[in-house]
């Protein structure tokens, strides 16, 4: 049997109090879909869990002046059904379609996905490609941090003790896409994921693009070499070999129970090319109106 | 209109849909304790000492090896009891004094709450002498390998175990060498199938209540209530009359509870020691370490003439069955039988089977009992030979298969039957039209990223393990049926329904024989005290054998009904007719030709009671004297993504031959669900374990450590026993339902109740080979090992491209 105590925090103020009170024993928990697993397998023990999933200030999805702001305690299922995101940030929306399964999506949150800092966190690549910022809260202060500076390693982030993610924000970009490869269509931690967000295309050639991948390095990564390579290239006619060559410098995959490093290296360009093609040609409304939402974002679909 | 062959709501449907169905885990008894198991952290270790004193101080009751001794001796048994004792190896006790696989239960602790039981468990101290484990079956047979056992028992005989070889079986017929000599070409090939896990919904559990008379009442996850009772009687030294095992719904099994579950005798011994009811329910992680499917390494050799006749075939099978024998002896016999019964091979058959102890979870039957394994090897081989020799794969099968008039080995070499109904030809001929077989093209013609292929394979399973003569396996069933005083009917059967609809079939047979509306047939909740023996719901015998017994008992009741009616109607019974009258909602008996002279069945039963003539009832046991094969054929279309190696299945045609279809929707459900399991076995399921610490004579290649979020112990499964990390496909990997075509052949089994035989296990037999054959048709690559994962496919595609 594992021991833990649970305190539900009704508002931000009480979270701060509880975090201070229990200091290094405190652990915020939102959906609990990582925390409960770690309690069960013994990685976490004797912690004071502070429930933040009902705090109003951490909820919701807003769009104003070209920016999308998502509260940290927003559930993945809310992202998955959001017409707004399907239209304005399809990469994120597609990641939500293939995230775990409908039951987990009803509890798992955006903040939890990022804060757990798994290399396989499915929301990380699309948010990196969308150049998102995090709003972080701490007793007596808040700060903004680019997501690109947030992930430090496996389960290791730039969060300071007692600091919470309040929200994530980014500029809308309809020309973005995401693909995931897993051992099955649902309830699968990814073998590799790829996200692309095109900022500008001139005469069919790419002039600004952001790429990111998951499960191919100790943390979700921006693919700067591949981005560089793509500049000036015709979006729909990319040489796969050359893209693969560029990606080699961006990723450092390992063998694990899901796949070998070799397979991941082979899959990276396949997924990335698909994400780029979708992002460049992608009209998001069409995506949302699409026939089978469950297929969206799935690599083999 | 007959109820047989029509869809009706399942008898247990409402209870299951509303959550009212009781399973073992739902049993609550006042004063009940909760038990948990102490499991060995070592895959191989002697248990020197167990100190339970601290746990007992906490109020727990503990059970260790010392507690299970009867007159200083531990009772040695085999959990599986469907074979005759002389063909049953015995090697285990309620709790062991040596752990032979990781997480083998070695002590049990019961307390007032589960939480307290876990805390007490942590206070139990165990001293081990750690031994080296051995994991690979080939290496287990080598000189110097750690030995799991010195001796075990076969029936009453003590037998020595050498080189960890548990069982070896050689079976031959005809003249194999002469057969090969007649062949124009000889083909040889190895195949390998992995361990997988049953993943049945209900994890194994048990509740045992001691009774004031010294007996026990038992609720257990079980496929056979009588099997449980007999084993408990033996292990606990109790008269059978003091043991009552209740029939209770089971949440699926796939064969995992044919044997008495390891937790059941432990729970019973603990309850007797505590003198209180005890509940013991396995967690999913524990269940993963309780039973797995037999892995097999095959070597196949076949001789073929240029005219397309197979002249001889030889099969060698190496089985790593784990730490205990849950009967690899009949398993090997069955593998030989499935192999022998697929084709005629000119009558020349050789089989060499070896089953080896390893420090792994024990293997037991799982849907097909060696049949899916054997079928994958043989049906792949048939496809290979067809391709190499330029035969049409369907014509080649039609030339060589065993059909009506041929012999079928339903349960190894001792249980044989002559085939009397067979849908093989119909399924192959019609199937090839429906699926456009002739237009499937060759892999060399296919291009593009996604390549499609069409493959076929055929298979079967037995319906039960009966036969004209007694053999190695026990098979009969029993029933008690009575007509109540209002014309309704009670059916008391020991037969378990594992979710497939066996009880519905039994009720339908009785309804049909006694012409009583199905809604007026009641299945009694019952137990071992009030039923006679039934061996087990296994071997696809529920409908054919269990239903067969109910059918024959119902015929006797019908005879009594007509005799009694004759007395009341002043006619000879043979002049009477029994029909169902849906307006009256009853059966009626009338004098043939004189419809006015009639009585309802209720009136007859009531009058018999008033006249003190007795109840219209009969109890009897019945053995089926055949084990007819139920055949299946799978036509599978695959799409291979040549960039990712992913395989999807756009379309499948499934032919099933179960003779008369009793429950059409359940027939379809069985075939479709089993296709899903077969697809999982072929493309997904991977039960890999960490074998680093195992005995080996080979220099070990330095390998990168596998990264998982948790460390993996020696002997541990990489998924840590978590279903979330055991990637069974979900419904979304299945072909769309409109692309799953299910057909039944037009067949009638003369020896079955209303022409029915089974379908259950046959439904998976040929899935694996059909998929692998389709992959070959798509990309020209043959896979000899399962699972065929995307990574393996991609590797093979790249290797082929380089060549
Ligand atoms: C069966 C299953 C399937 C899964 N499938 C996927 C999948 O397909 N893709 C995927 O990416 N993940 C998957 N996961 C992992 C998990 O569901 C996600 O990472 C999820 O988003 C975590 O969110 P949560 O709210 O449940 O986090 P919690 O478990 O509540 O918390 C996780 C961590 O984040 C911290 N935390 C939570 N919220 C905040 C905050 N606002 N500020 C600071 N720290 C915070 C917690 O302290 C904890 O350390 C799966 C998990 C399970 C159990």
Give residue A300's pLDDT: 43
Packing angle of the helix pair B664-683, B767-779 (nearest 10 deg) = 50
Q: Which residue among A101, A256, A267 sits closest to B644, beta carbon to beta carbon? A: A267
Please give the helix or strand (H or E) that residue A184 lies within, else none: none
Q: Is B279 helix (H, G, I), strand (E, B) or coil?
A: strand
What CA–CA distance (Å, rounded) separates B480 from B554? 9
Look at A1 and B115 and tell me if their CB atoms are within 8 Å. yes
Ligand 1 center from residue B593 Cα (angstroms): 77
Spell out which residues of chain B touch residue A181, defining contact as CB-CB under 8 Å. Answer: 644
Angle, CA of A160, A165 and A170, to the nearest 5°: 125
**Residue appearing with tokens 């399942």:** B10
Band of residue B698 on the pLDDT scale cut at 50, 70, 90: confident
β-sheet bridge partners, residue A151:
A157
Ligand 1 center from residue A107 Cα (angstroms): 9
The dihedrals phi and psi of B137, each to the nearest 5 degrees, come to: -65, -35
Cβ count near B290 (within 10 Å): 23
How near does any CA of chain B get to the CA of A62, in Å? 32
Nearest CA in chain A to B793: A263
What CA–CA distance (Å, rounded) separates B498 from A57? 50
Q: Are B442 and B601 in contact (CB under 8 A)?
A: no
Cα distance between the two ends of chain B? 64
Check pLDDT > 70 for residue B573: yes
Decide if B483 is inside a domain.
Answer: yes
CA nearest ligand 1 atom 18, residue: A113
Look at B646 and A255 and tell me if their CB atoms are within 8 Å. no
Ligand 1 center from residue A198 Cα (angstroms): 28
List, in order, residues 6 or more apart from B146 with CB less than 8 Å away.
B44, B131, B132, B133, B134, B359, B695
Q: Is B119 on the interface with A (CB under 8 A)?
A: yes
Give residue B705's pLDDT: 56
- For A48-95, the pLDDT digits (tens) are 999 999 999 999 999 999 999 999 999 999 999 999 999 999 999 999
Here the CATH number for the domain that contains residue B510 is: 3.30.365.10
Q: Is B524 on the interface with A (CB under 8 A)?
A: no
How near does any CA of chain B get to the CA of A2, in Å? 10
What's the CA dihedral at B519, B524, B525, B531 to 10 degrees? -150
Decide if B398 is inside a domain.
Answer: no
What CA–CA distance (Å, rounded) separates B26 from B111? 18
Look at B704 and A185 and tell me if their CB atoms are within 8 Å. no
Which of B97, B95, B127, B109 has the alpha carbon at shortest distance from B54? B109
Looking at the CA of residue A34, tell me the nearest atom of ligand 1.
29
Q: Which residue among A41, A184, A300 sits closest to B730, beta carbon to beta carbon? A: A184
The dihedrals phi and psi of A102, each to the nearest 5 degrees, come to: -60, -30
CA nearest ligand 1 atom 44, residue: A115
Q: SS3 helix, strand, coil % of chain B, rounded to 5?
A: 30, 30, 40
Decide if B529 is inside a domain.
Answer: yes
List, in order, residues 6 or more apart from A174 with CB less than 8 Å away.
A87, A88, A89, A90, A282, A283, A284
Q: Which residue among A185, A257, A260 sits closest to B732, beta carbon to beta carbon? A: A185
What CA–CA distance (Å, rounded) separates B454 from B643? 20
What DSSP designation does B546 have? I
Range in A149-163, A197-211, B84-98 the model is least confident about: A197-211
Give residue B803's pLDDT: 74
Q: Are A208 and A176 in contact (CB under 8 A)?
A: no
The dihedrals phi and psi of B208, each to the nearest 5 degrees, come to: -130, 130
Q: Are B148 and B359 in contact (CB under 8 A)?
A: yes
Check pLDDT > 80 for residue B79: yes
Q: Is A276 left (phi over 0), alpha (psi -120 to 50) or beta?
A: alpha
Residue of A4, A29, A188, A215 best suited for mutating to test ligand 1, as the one with most atoms within 8 Å of CB: A29
Write out the residue range of the structural domain in which residue B210 sits.
Answer: 15-131+199-288
Q: Is A260 on the interface with B (CB under 8 A)?
A: yes
Check pLDDT > 60 for residue A299: no
CA distances for B796 relative to A106, A182, B188, angstroms: 40, 19, 21
Decide if B779 is inside a domain.
Answer: no
Tokens of residue A199, six digits: 């900022």
What CA–CA distance (Å, rounded) separates A2 from A40? 7
Band of residue A41 on the pLDDT scale cut at 50, 70, 90: confident
Look at B729 and A184 and tell me if their CB atoms are within 8 Å. yes
Give residue A297's pLDDT: 54
Tokens of residue B353, six digits: 């089977």
| Residues in A 95-134 with any Cβ partner in B closer than 8 A | 101
Band of residue B703 on the pLDDT scale cut at 50, 70, 90: low
Check pLDDT > 50 for residue A12: yes
Tokens of residue B188, six digits: 């040889």
Look at A255 and B706 and tell me if their CB atoms are within 8 Å. yes
Q: Are B94 and B104 in contact (CB under 8 A)?
A: no
Decide if B179 is inside a domain.
Answer: no
CA nearest ligand 1 atom 49, residue: A116
Which of B705, B720, B652 has the alpha carbon at shortest distance from B682? B652
Q: Is A66 left (phi over 0), alpha (psi -120 to 50) or beta?
A: left
Look at B727 and A184 and tell me if their CB atoms are within 8 Å. yes
Give residue B645's pLDDT: 98
Q: Give the strand pairing for B740-744 and B647-657.
A: parallel
- For B137-151, the pLDDT digits (tens) are 999 999 999 999 999
How near does any CA of chain B get to the CA of A13, in Å? 34
Kindly write down the DSSP assignment for every residue of B724-783, as one continuous string. Answer: GGS----GGGSPPGGGEEEEE-----TTSGGGB---TTHHHHTHHHHHHHHHHHHHS---
What CA–CA distance (Å, rounded) separates A144 from A134? 6
CA nearest ligand 1 atom 52, residue: A33
Looking at the CA of residue A29, tell me the nearest atom of ligand 1.
30
Q: Are B516 and B587 in contact (CB under 8 A)?
A: yes
What CA–CA distance (Å, rounded) separates B634 from B791? 25
CA B61, B62, B66, B72 torsion: positive or negative? Answer: positive
- For B209-253, the pLDDT digits (tens) are 999 999 999 999 999 999 999 999 999 999 999 999 999 999 999
Tokens of residue A110, six digits: 């955006």
Which of B538, B18, B27, B19 has the alpha carbon at shortest distance from B281? B27
Share of chain B above pLDDT 90, in %: 97
Spell out which residues of chain B touch residue A254, defining contact as CB-CB under 8 Å. Answer: 704, 707
Rounded to two decimals, the pTM is 0.96
Give residue B697's pLDDT: 85
Cβ count near A41 (within 10 Å): 14
Check pLDDT > 70 for residue A118: yes
Average pLDDT value for residue range B406-431: 98
Here the CATH number for the domain that contains residue B24 is: 3.90.1170.50
What CA–CA distance (Å, rounded) separates B495 from B774? 39
Reply yes or no: is the peptide bond before residue B787 cis, omega within 30 of 0. Answer: yes
Decide if B98 is inside a domain.
Answer: yes
Decide if B570 is inside a domain.
Answer: yes
Residues constituting chain A: 301
Tokens of residue B223, six digits: 């496929």
Q: Is B713 on the interface with A (CB under 8 A)?
A: no
Decide if B794 is inside a domain.
Answer: no
- For B515-535, the pLDDT digits (tens) are 999 999 999 999 999 999 999
Domain stops at, among B603, B622, B641: B622
Tell me which residues have their CB closer than 6 angstroms to ligand 1: A 27-35, 37, 52, 72, 99-100, 104, 107-109, 111-113, 115-116, 120-122, 159, 164-165, 187, 189; B 724
What DSSP designation does A158 have? S
Please give the helix or strand (H or E) that residue B663 lies within, else none: none
Ligand 1 center from residue A104 Cα (angstroms): 9
Tokens of residue B122, six digits: 């942590």
Burial readout B124-135 (b: 16 or more C-beta within 10 A, e: otherwise): bebebeebebbb
Domain stops at, among B288, B322, B345: B288
What CA–CA distance (Å, rounded) separates B720 from B709? 11
Residue of A34, A92, A137, A191 best suited for mutating to test ligand 1, as the one with most atoms within 8 Å of CB: A34
What CA–CA distance (Å, rounded) separates A223 from A230? 11
Burial readout B742-781 (b: 16 or more C-beta within 10 A, e: otherwise): bbbbebebebbbbbbbbbbbbbbbbbbbbbbbbbbbbbbb
- For B168-195, the pLDDT digits (tens) are 999 999 999 999 999 999 999 999 999 9
Which of A197, A181, A187 has the alpha carbon at shortest distance from A148? A197
Ligand 1 center from residue A77 Cα (angstroms): 13
Average pLDDT value for residue range B779-789: 98
Q: Is B738 on the interface with A (CB under 8 A)?
A: no
Q: Is A255 on the interface with B (CB under 8 A)?
A: yes
β-sheet bridge partners, residue A50:
A7, A28
Check pLDDT > 80 for residue B704: no
Domain count within chain B:
2
Check pLDDT > 80 for residue A293: no
Tokens of residue B663, six digits: 């429950």
Band of residue A292 on the pLDDT scale cut at 50, 70, 90: very low
The dihedrals phi and psi of B541, each to the nearest 5 degrees, come to: -110, 0
- For A177-234, the pLDDT digits (tens) are 999 999 999 999 999 999 999 988 888 789 999 999 999 999 999 999 999 999 999 8
Reply yes or no: is the peptide bond before residue B776 cis, omega within 30 of 0. Answer: no
Tokens of residue B763, six digits: 């439904």
Ligand 1 center from residue A50 Cα (angstroms): 14
Share of chain B above pLDDT 70, in %: 99
Spell out which residues of chain B touch residue A259, defining contact as CB-CB under 8 Å. Answer: 791
Give residue A236's pLDDT: 79
Average pLDDT value for residue range B774-802: 97
Mean pLDDT of chain B: 96
Give residue A52's pLDDT: 97
Give residue A288's pLDDT: 33
How near does any CA of chain A get to the CA of B114, in Å? 9
Average pLDDT value for residue range B626-638: 98
**Residue appearing with tokens 């049949």:** B371
Q: Are B519 and B486 in contact (CB under 8 A)?
A: no
Residue of A11, A28, A47 best suited for mutating to test ligand 1, as the one with most atoms within 8 Å of CB: A28
Give residue B1's pLDDT: 58
Check pLDDT > 50 for residue A283: no
Domain stops at, among B236, B263, B288: B288
């Amino acid at each position: 049997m594992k021991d833990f105590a649970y305190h539900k925090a009704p508002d931000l103020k009480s979270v701060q109090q509880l975090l201070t009170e229990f200091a290094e024993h405190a652990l915020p928990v939102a959906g609990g879909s990582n925390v409960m697993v770690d309690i069960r397998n013994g990685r976490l023990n004797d912690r004071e869990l502070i429930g933040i999933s009902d705090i109003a200030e951490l909820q919701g999805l807003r769009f104003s002046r070209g920016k999308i702001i998502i509260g940290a305690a927003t559930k993945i299922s809310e992202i998955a059904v959001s017409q707004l995101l399907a239209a304005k940030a399809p990469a994120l929306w597609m990641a939500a379609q293939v995230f775990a399964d409908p039951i987990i999506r009803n509890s798992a949150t955006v903040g939890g996905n990022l804060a757990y800092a798994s290399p396989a966190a499915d929301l990380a690549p699309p948010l990196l490609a969308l150049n998102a910022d995090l709003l972080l809260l701490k007793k007596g202060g808040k700060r903004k941090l680019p997501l690109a500076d947030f992930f430090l390693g496996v389960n290791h982030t730039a969060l300071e003790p007692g600091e919470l993610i309040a929200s994530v924000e980014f500029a809308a970009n309809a020309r973005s896409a995401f693909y995931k490869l897993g051992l099955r269509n649902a309830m699968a931690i990814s073998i590799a994921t790829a996200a692309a967000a095109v900022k500008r295309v001139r005469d069919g050639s790419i002039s600004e693009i952001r790429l990111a991948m998951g499960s191919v390095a100790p943390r979700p990564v921006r693919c700067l070499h591949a981005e560089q390579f793509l500049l000036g290239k015709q979006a729909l006619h990319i040489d796969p070999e050359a893209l693969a060559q560029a990606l080699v410098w961006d990723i450092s995959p390992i063998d694990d129970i899901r796949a070998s490093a070799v397979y991941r290296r082979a899959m990276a360009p396949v997924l990335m090319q698909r994400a780029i093609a979708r992002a460049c040609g992608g009209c998001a409304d069409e995506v949302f109106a699409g026939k089978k939402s469950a297929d969206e974002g799935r690599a083999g679909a | 209109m007959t109820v047989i062959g029509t869809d009706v709501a399942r008898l247990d449907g409402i209870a299951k849909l509303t959550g009212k169905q009781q399973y073992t885990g739902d049993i609550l008894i006042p004063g009940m304790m909760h038990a948990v198991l102490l499991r060995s952290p070592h895959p191989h270790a002697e248990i020197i000492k167990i100190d339970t004193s601290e746990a007992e101080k906490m109020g727990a009751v503990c059970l260790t090896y010392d507690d299970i001794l009867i007159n200083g001796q531990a009772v040695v048994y085999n959990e599986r009891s469907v074979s005759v004792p002389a063909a049953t190896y015995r090697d285990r006790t309620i709790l062991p004094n040596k752990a032979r696989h990781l997480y083998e239960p070695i002590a049990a602790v019961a307390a007032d709450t589960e939480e307290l039981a876990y805390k007490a468990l942590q206070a139990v101290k165990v001293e081990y002498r750690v031994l080296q484990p051995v994991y690979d079956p080939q290496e287990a047979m080598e000189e110097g390998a750690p030995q799991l056992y010195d001796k075990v028992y076969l029936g009453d005989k003590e037998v020595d175990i050498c080189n960890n070889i548990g069982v070896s079986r050689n079976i031959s017929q005809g003249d194999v060498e002469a057969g090969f000599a007649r062949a124009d070409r000889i083909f040889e090939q190895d195949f390998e199938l992995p361990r997988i896990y049953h993943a049945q919904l209900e994890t194994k559990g048990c509740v045992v209540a001691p009774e004031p008379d010294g007996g026990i009442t038992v609720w257990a996850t079980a496929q056979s209530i009588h099997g449980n009772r007999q084993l408990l009687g033996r292990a606990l030294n109790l008269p059978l009359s003091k043991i009552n095992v209740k029939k209770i719904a089971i949440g699926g099994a796939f064969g995992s509870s044919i044997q008495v579950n390891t937790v059941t005798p432990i729970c019973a011994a603990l309850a007797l020691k505590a003198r209180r009811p005890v509940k013991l329910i396995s967690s999913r992680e524990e269940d993963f370490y309780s039973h797995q499917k037999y892995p097999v390494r095959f070597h196949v050799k076949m001789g073929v003439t240029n005219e397309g006749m197979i002249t001889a075939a030889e099969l060698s099978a190496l089985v790593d069955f784990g730490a205990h024998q849950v009967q690899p002896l009949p398993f090997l016999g069955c593998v030989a039988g499935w192999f022998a019964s697929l084709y005629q091979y000119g009558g020349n058959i050789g089989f060499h089977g070896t089953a080896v102890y390893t420090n792994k979870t024990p293997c037991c039957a799982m849907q097909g009992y060696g049949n899916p394994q054997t079928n994958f090897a043989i049906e792949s081989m048939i496809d290979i030979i067809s391709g190499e020799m330029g035969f049409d794969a369907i014509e080649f099968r039609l030339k060589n298969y065993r059909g009506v008039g041929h012999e079928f080995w339903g349960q190894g070499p001792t249980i044989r039957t002559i085939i009397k109904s067979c849908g093989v030809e119909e399924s192959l001929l019609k199937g090839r039209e429906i699926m456009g077989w002739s237009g499937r093209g060759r892999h060399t013609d296919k291009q593009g990223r996604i390549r499609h292929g069409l493959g076929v394979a055929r298979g079967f399973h037995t319906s039960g393990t009966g036969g004209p003569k007694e053999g190695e396996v026990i098979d009969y069933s029993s029933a008690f049926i009575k007509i109540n005083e209002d014309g309704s009917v009670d059916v008391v059967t020991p037969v378990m329904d594992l979710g497939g609809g066996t009880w519905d079939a039994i009720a339908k047979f009785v309804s049909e024989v006694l012409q009583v509306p199905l809604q007026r047939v009641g299945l009694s909740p019952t137990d071992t005290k009030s039923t006679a023996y039934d061996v087990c719901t296994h071997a696809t015998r529920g409908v054919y054998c269990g239903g067969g017994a109910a059918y024959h008992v119902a015929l006797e009741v019908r005879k009594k009904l007509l005799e009694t009616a004759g007395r009341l109607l002043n006619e000879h019974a043979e002049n009477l007719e029994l029909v169902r009258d849906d307006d009256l909602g009853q059966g009626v008996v009338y004098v043939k030709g004189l419809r006015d002279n009639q009585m309802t069945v209720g009136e007859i039963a009531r009058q018999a009671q008033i006249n003190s003539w007795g109840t219209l009832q009969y109890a009897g046991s019945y053995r089926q004297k055949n084990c007819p094969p139920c055949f299946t054929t799978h036509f599978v279309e695959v799409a291979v993504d040549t960039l990712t190696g992913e395989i999807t299945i756009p379309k499948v045609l499934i032919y099933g031959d179960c003779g008369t279809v009793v429950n059409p929707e359940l027939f379809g459900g069985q075939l479709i669900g089993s296709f899903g399991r077969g697809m999982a076995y072929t493309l997904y399921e991977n039960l890999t374990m960490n074998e680093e610490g195992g005995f080996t004579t080979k220099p070990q290649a330095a390998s990168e450590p596998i990264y998982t979020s948790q460390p993996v112990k020696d002997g541990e499964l990489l998924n840590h026993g978590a279903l979330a990390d055991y990637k069974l496909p979900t419904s979304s990997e299945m072909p769309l339902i409109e692309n799953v075509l299910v057909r039944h052949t037009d067949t009638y089994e003369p020896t079955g109740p209303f022409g029915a035989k089974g379908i259950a296990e046959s439904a998976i037999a040929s899935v694996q080979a059909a998929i692998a054959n389709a992959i070959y048709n798509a990309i020209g690559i043959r896979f000899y090992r399962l699972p065929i994962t995307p990574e393996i496919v991609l590797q093979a595609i790249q290797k082929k491209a380089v060549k």
